[in-house]
Structure 1
Amino acid sequence: MKKIFLIIFFLTGVFAMQSQELKWYTDVKEAITESNKVHKPMLMFFTGSDWCGWCIRLQNEVLKTPEFTKWAAENVVLVELDYPRRTPQTPEIKNQNSELQQAFGVQGFPTIYFTSAEAKDGKVNFKGLGQTGYVAGGPTAWLAVANGIVAQKSVN
């Protein structure tokens, strides 16, 4: 009986943790579709996940916290645009990320753009709301900046 209880307890914990994980899109077209469907802007995270110290710090101090998880689920569609040095990527993802880095003029990492987009006649038009990067002070400080940017969506 004790074993059954422990198994049920363990499985409940696993499902609870899975339900709190955020979906990070890597395909921008899928993210645009979702963004338009749920009427939320995209948070586009330009990162060097396996070499950029500030990117890793932003992940650990903000993006992997319960505060960010709750905020993101309510406010944005998440898009990770990674530029790794050691982690393999498909040619399609590499090309997509390179084109977006050029389109947004990203020169340093981490850079986060908040944007909405629509596809017309086979072309994507982005409407930028603002950008940020690493903000010292943990999730509270970072979310204060992000809230200021996302609030512009309802003003524009």
Structure 2
Amino acid sequence: MIVGVNTASAQEWQTDFAVAKEIATKESKPIILVFQGSDWCGPCIKLDREIWSTDTFKAYANENYVMLKADFPKRKKNALSEAQTKANAQLAEIYNKQGFFPFVVVLDSNGKVLGENSYKKTTPENYIKELNAFIK
């Protein structure tokens, strides 16, 4: 028996807003936009470890969300391409004017803000409930 390559273990993180909106529209899913500093922001790293990287969250997100990452690394070895850096800055300009990290924005497929969240010590299940509370 051949199983599809897109199993729940591989979470698809989009990095292109246009592609994320296209998928969200096609699959009728909300976009979870995550602003993070993957190599310097303690709470961002905890959020990744305690929520995003868990099997529970990955399996659920795979079926129900389009995950979009806007990373702002500081170390040279983790530097993003110039185009990606610019794209992330444009997203921050629209959705994260205060420059909070981590900052989680729940968007509809058109890019309209439905709700906002951040890091908190909780379970993946509770985090999913909080995100879903924004989605009508």
When the two structures are superposed, what TM-score results if normalisation uses the length of structure 1?
A: 0.77
- Which residue number in structure 2 is paired with residue 121 of structure 1? none
Whole-angstrom CA distance in 2 between matches of 1:88 and 1:45 = 17
- Which residue number in structure 1 is paired with residue 99 of structure 2? 107
Q: Equivalent residues in 2 for 1:42-53 (5 A)?
A: 42-53=31-42
Which amino acid is 2:88 matched to? N
Q: Aligned in 2, Cα 1:106/1:36: closer, same or farther, shift over 3 Å? A: farther
Any gaps of 5 or more consecutive residues in structure 2? none
Q: Aligned pair 1:27/2:16, yes or no?
A: yes
Q: Aligned in 2, Cα 1:84/1:41: closer, same or farther, shift over 3 Å? A: same
Whole-angstrom CA distance in 2 between matches of 1:35 and 1:106 = 26
When the two structures are superposed, what TM-score results if normalisation uses the length of structure 2?
A: 0.87
- Which residue number in structure 2 is paired with residue 138 of structure 1? 123
Deviation per CA, 1:26-62: give whole Å up to 9, x if none: 1111111111111101100100001100000001111
CA contact (8 A) 2:28 2:109 kept: no
Paired-residue identity, %: 28
Deviation per CA, 1:100-131: give whole Å up to 9, x if none: 1111124210101010244xxxxxxx211101
CA contact (8 A) 1:136 1:142 kept: no
Q: Aligned in 2, Cα 1:100/1:147: closer, same or farther, shift over 3 Å? A: same
CA contact (8 A) 1:32 1:117 kept: yes
- Greater Rg by CA: 1
Whole-angstrom CA distance in 2 between matches of 1:106 and 1:73 = 29
CA contact (8 A) 2:106 2:116 kept: yes
- Which residue number in structure 2 is paired with residue 67 of structure 1? 56
- Which residue number in structure 2 is paired with residue 7 of structure 1? none
- After superposing on structure 2, the runs of 4+ consecutive aligned residues of structure 1 that deviate more than 4 Å are 15-18
Higher normalized contact order (CA 8 Å, seq sep 6+, divided by chain length): 2
Higher-strand-fraction structure: 1
Deviation per CA, 1:69-103: give whole Å up to 9, x if none: 12211211010100000111111111111111111
- Which residue number in structure 1 is paired with residue 70 of structure 2? 81
Residue 17 (structure 1) shift: 9.1
